[in-house]
Amino acid sequence: MLKCQFHAHAGPDPEHPLSYTEKELIKEAAHLKYDVLAITCHNKIFHKKSLEQYAKKLGIILFPGIEKEIQGKHVLIINAKKEAEKIETFEQLREYKNSHPNSLIIAPHPFFPGPTLKKSLIENIDIFDAIEHSFAYTTTKNYNSPAIALAHRWRKPLLATADVHFLKHLNLGYTLVDSAKNKTSIIQAIKKNRLKIHHQAISYYEILKSLLIIEFQKYFFLL
């Protein structure tokens, strides 16, 4: 099975500028024995042929991705094309999905606080190929619970990710996919739910510290 990370941010992210580069993210993923990685910066695709070749040398398939804000809600698009940056409504997302059958549309942290899908996921459930199980939960509070119930109800695959903003978090949540090692096979295997998820609870302290650091970085980037 292929070890996959489908939600990872890197240095040039326009919303959350980070201290590590795309190559450093890829190198750490290789160190942790990942087979598949998607870089999913906010509202912009940062995918270059040189990065894809660098990842390939380290044994990693690199997917172009984006965490797009659509009608004020976050949506992950994997194997994304440049035109995904222009999507503004769920109807446009539906049209994009229909014209790009080899893409993967994921509902990220849909019931967490913030600009997340919540009711919009239920209203547009037909668009989504999978639902995310986010790393950011504790043993006493888990906003993933309604996402898990919804995935079971609608028979949608549940993908564990680490929503990476810090390299040390890269292994907190990941998905093993039963697939041949090529992009088309991986996408199809996920849609057929041939996978197993791995995740672990973390502390309130670690979540709060991470959020504070991200806000600190954003503030100084905007100065």
Q: Which residues contact 27 (CB under 8 A, 6 or more apart)?
A: 58
The pLDDT of residue 93 is above 70: yes
The pLDDT of residue 41 is above 60: yes
Pick the most confident of 176-180, 212-216, 218-222.
176-180
Residues 32 and 16: their CA atoms lie apart, in Å, by 23
Spell out the domains of the chain, with CATH numbers in brackets. 2-222 (3.20.20.140)
- Model confidence band, residue 223 (pLDDT cutoffs 50, 70, 90): very low
The pair of three-digit structure tokens given for residue 20, joined into one six-digit string: 């590590």
Q: How many CB atoms lie under 10 A from the CB of residue 70?
A: 22
How buried is residue 54: exposed, middle or buried, by Cβ count under 10 Å (0-12/13-18/19+)? middle
The pair of three-digit structure tokens given for residue 81, joined into one six-digit string: 């094309």
Q: How many percent of the chain have pLDDT more than 70?
A: 97
The pLDDT of residue 47 is above 90: yes
Residues 175 and 163: their CA atoms lie apart, in Å, by 12
Per-residue model confidence as pLDDT tens digits over 78-91: 999 999 999 999 99
- Model confidence band, residue 73 (pLDDT cutoffs 50, 70, 90): very high
Per-residue model confidence as pLDDT tens digits over 126-142: 999 999 999 999 999 99
Residues 57 and 156: their CA atoms lie apart, in Å, by 33
Residues 31 and 15: their CA atoms lie apart, in Å, by 27
Within its chain, how far is the Cα of 201 from the centroid? 18
Q: Measuring CA to CA, how many Å separate 38 from each of 31, 77, 122, 153, 205?
A: 16, 10, 25, 27, 27
Comparing 20-34, 191-205, 208-222, the range with the smallest average pLDDT is: 208-222
The pair of three-digit structure tokens given for residue 25, joined into one six-digit string: 């993210």
The pLDDT of residue 154 is above 70: yes
> The pTM is what?
0.95
Residue pair 156/171 in contact by the 8 Å Cβ criterion: no
Residues 88-97 have a mean pLDDT of 98
The pair of three-digit structure tokens given for residue 108, joined into one six-digit string: 């990220």
